[in-house]
Structure 1
């Protein structure tokens, strides 16, 4: 019987997408999900003649695209032999397909560079757009240097309820500790007269509330928190991500241009020292 819970991963044969497939396979089995490997072939944009070369077996652009997809499936099965894996070959730009394919998925996993090789004109362009437009959590794999580290959750002034939900789910599935941080902005050169714990009681109260919610949502998981004060939200989160197995944050995706995200999420996606999960799942009081 086919597993109804699915994790989607984009694959284009690059080293970045290899890492994404391996990561997705490992976490799909932990979450009792099947894995859906998707390859978007760009040859339809470049040539109408995609069939086999006459007299040459196993040739042609269409067959080349199928081979890429088969490589992705083989890598997933090699990583987790017992995992249920299915594949889909689509034609056209990844951004035109991935958001649609991943609707209702447990999460969408992508490499840190834009899918599509030389046609990804901006580094990470597809990943950035999916982080802003997808209707499920999006994980961008930059590195996986600390697979045994804690889950890092960065919460905003509203407590980031959707990101909290996703971080607790991730910690519960992996058994990882959960570290929650809230960043307060302090302009460069500003001198604090008191310690942050005394100077920012509202922020401390917010952090305490989020910690309490996390312990309720993920019982048995070690949950800690820290209030960070910095001139840059993103730099504080990036620094905190050192040693984390994944960094989780939310985004409302209200960029002026379609396919853009907030500056903090954008910077963290580019510079974090861990995979980054951008919560796109609806929660009671937040559309992430």
Structure 2
């Protein structure tokens, strides 16, 4: 039986996915979670000849898939030797497998180029699809240059409770400082209207900081109120030198921008790990979203077999 206290990470043998596995292993160990390393082999979609070549030991596509999973496991243990580990070798396209495997997990971790080699070359394919449809937070690891830096969490006018909650959990686990940032665009109207927006923003930040102190009482928590014509730019500027930037995501589905334009831009332009904590609408599940994906004509994903508005003044 799968534990909900899991961090799931996809590994395809690439350098990007190796970085993701090491990041996931360290954070799973710090969060006292089980780490599930998943490799999805595409070969059964392309050929039935998976067995070894006659007379050549250790050959064959089946062996290659198992060897790739072994390498992913080794990457995880190199970063966190004592992490509780589960391995899964799955056959078929990766997005559906990873979405279902990560259902109810603490988070899903991906490399910046996605999972599946040539079928996931860019953030915007498998990575964006899962950021938009997974039922748990999704971390995309492009670089990991400041592992001891602070955690930056951007909140919108709703307070972004999901993003704030996981940012606090990670701050507590890692001992990192936590910066909470809320960005408003400069007001083009009368000065009293601008003052009203700033006052509301500061109240929002004060409430979020109060909640964060309750969730992460030992963390050093700061507030950052910013004004910028570009919300993503302000978030990216605030995250310089950070270990991680956490943003909420709105919307659902697989089309461009369905995680929200801010989360989409940050995901594509950040030079540090990004965690998307998407807000599911009431009654919406990852399964609902898969159905919607089929309805708009996106290709089905084959699973062959599996191993074990703001506040007012």
Match of 2:306 in 1: none
3-state secondary structure, aligned to 1:200:
helix
Match of 1:45 in 2: 45
Cα RMSD over matched residues?
Answer: 2.7
**CA 1:44–1:256 in structure 2 vs 1: closer, same or farther (change >3 Å)?**
closer
Match of 2:85 in 1: 85
Match of 2:268 in 1: 270
Distance across 2 between alignment mates of 1:46 and 1:133: 26
Deviation at 1:122, TM superposition (A): 4.0
Match of 1:59 in 2: 59
Where in structure 2 are the equivalents of 1:272-287 lying within 5 Å? Answer: 272-280=270-278
Distance across 2 between alignment mates of 1:154 and 1:266: 13
253-262 or 85-94, which moves further after superposition? 253-262
Deviation at 1:273, TM superposition (A): 2.7
Where in structure 2 are the equivalents of 1:154-193 lying within 5 Å? Answer: 154-186=154-186
Deviation at 1:70, TM superposition (A): 0.6
Structure 1 residue runs of 5 or longer lacking an equivalent are none
Distance across 1 between alignment mates of 2:259 and 2:164: 19
Contact 2:183 2:227 in 1 (8 A): yes
Structure 2 residue runs of 5 or longer lacking an equivalent are 286-313
Distance across 1 between alignment mates of 2:196 and 2:183: 15
Match of 2:68 in 1: 68
| 2:260 aligned with 1:251 | no
Match of 2:199 in 1: 201
**CA 1:75–1:192 in structure 2 vs 1: closer, same or farther (change >3 Å)?**
farther
Distance across 2 between alignment mates of 1:175 and 1:126: 31
Contact 1:244 1:273 in 2 (8 A): no
Distance across 2 between alignment mates of 1:124 and 1:258: 8
Contact 1:255 1:262 in 2 (8 A): no
212-221 or 64-73, which moves further after superposition? 212-221
Match of 2:293 in 1: none
Deviation at 1:24, TM superposition (A): 0.7
Deviation at 1:11, TM superposition (A): 0.2
Distance across 1 between alignment mates of 2:124 and 2:245: 17
CA offsets, 1:35-57, max 9 Å, x none? 11000111112212111111111
Contact 2:103 2:136 in 1 (8 A): yes
TM-score by length of 1: 0.90
Distance across 2 between alignment mates of 1:277 and 1:216: 21
| 2:113 aligned with 1:113 | yes
Contact 2:123 2:268 in 1 (8 A): no
**CA 1:276–1:76 in structure 2 vs 1: closer, same or farther (change >3 Å)?**
same
Deviation at 1:144, TM superposition (A): 1.0
Deviation at 1:280, TM superposition (A): 3.8
**CA 1:192–1:110 in structure 2 vs 1: closer, same or farther (change >3 Å)?**
farther
TM-score by length of 2: 0.83
**CA 1:156–1:281 in structure 2 vs 1: closer, same or farther (change >3 Å)?**
closer
Match of 2:8 in 1: 8
Contact 1:129 1:260 in 2 (8 A): no
3-state secondary structure, aligned to 1:244:
coil
